[in-house]
Structures are given as structure tokens and as C-alpha cells.
Homo-oligomer: A and B are copies of this chain.
Amino acid sequence: MGFVKEFFIGPDQVRAFADLVGDHNPVHLDAEFARTTKYGGPICHGMLVASFISGCLVEALGQGTVYVEQSVRFRRPVPVGSRIRVLLGEPEAAPKGQSLLTTVIEVQQGEIWKKVLEGQATVISGGGVGEGAESPPLNPG
């Protein structure tokens, strides 16, 4: 399928996410503190980075896409003020009408994109929202 989409994560996004989910770890929010850490500056919440997969699944597979499972493995931090891109693999059919697809996120460093997150999404795709399913209702992405 080759779905790719870029996003920018700046201080406003990080602050909004911190307030939204109540994660005020100073390594994300306090530039002075963050400079004293091994990261050398503020970095994005891992789950904020991972959350950009959600809308991409809907965009790539349609509004009827139902999230069943997501796994994410963090490979390196994303400095606040980074351009990232979400890459979705080709969906593979799985039992119970589900599809599996790889989910990768990369961060731009100069001219290079480096992998920051890899994982797998399990979704029920294709059906319109509101169509019946044999399995219990799950969370749309």
C-alpha cells in the first residue's frame, strides 16, 4: 500500500498532550531540566508519537476501520520540534476478518529519516462504521 504521512511535533503539541493525559514529566516540558538529561533537550512523549498512527489507519483503510490491537516498540527519542512520518505496511489477512499491518514511525534528521518506533496494528478494516460484526464492538482508530 505504501501509505506515508508526515507530521510536525512542536512544543505546543507536547504541552497539549501533557495536559490532556496528565503526563507532565519535565523531560518533555522543561527545556532547562531536559538539557541536563542524556537526551540533551526536551523530547516527545512516546505515546504522543504513537498516536499519529491512529488517524493514518483511518485515512488509509477507511472510516470503518476498527482498532483491535496495537503494539509499539520505541527505538529512539523524538526531540520536540521534529518532523516525523508514519509508514503503514500492506495489510495482511488474518482470522476473524482481521488484518495485520506493520506500523513504523521515523524522525527526520537533516536529510535522513531514522526509525523511532516500530510495531504492528491489528484492525478490522473495510466495513463501514455501523456495519455489524460477529465479534464484540471494538475501538475505531
Residues of A within 8 A of B (CB): 7, 13, 16-17, 20-28, 36-39, 43-55, 58, 63, 67-78, 116, 129-133, 136-141
Partner of A25, one of B13, B53, B72, B141: B141
* A130/B37 in contact, CB under 8 A: yes
Q: How far does the Cβ of A84 sit from chain B's closest Cβ, in whole Å?
A: 11
Q: How many copies does the complex hold?
A: 2
Q: How far does the Cβ of A131 sit from chain B's closest Cβ, in whole Å?
A: 8
* B63/A68 in contact, CB under 8 A: no
* A51/B49 in contact, CB under 8 A: no
A133 to B39, CA, bound (A): 12
Partner of A141, one of B47, B55, B78: B47
Q: How far does the Cβ of A127 sit from chain B's closest Cβ, in whole Å?
A: 10
6 A-B pairs besides A68-B73, A69-B74, A78-B139 with CB distance below 8 A are A21-B55, A23-B141, A28-B140, A37-B129, A39-B137, A43-B139
* A138/B76 in contact, CB under 8 A: yes
The interface centre, meaning the residue of A68, A74, A140 with most chain B CB atoms within 10 A of its CB, is A140
Contact residues in B for A58 (Cβ distance below 8 Å): 23, 25
* B54/A47 in contact, CB under 8 A: yes
A139 to B115, CA, bound (A): 13
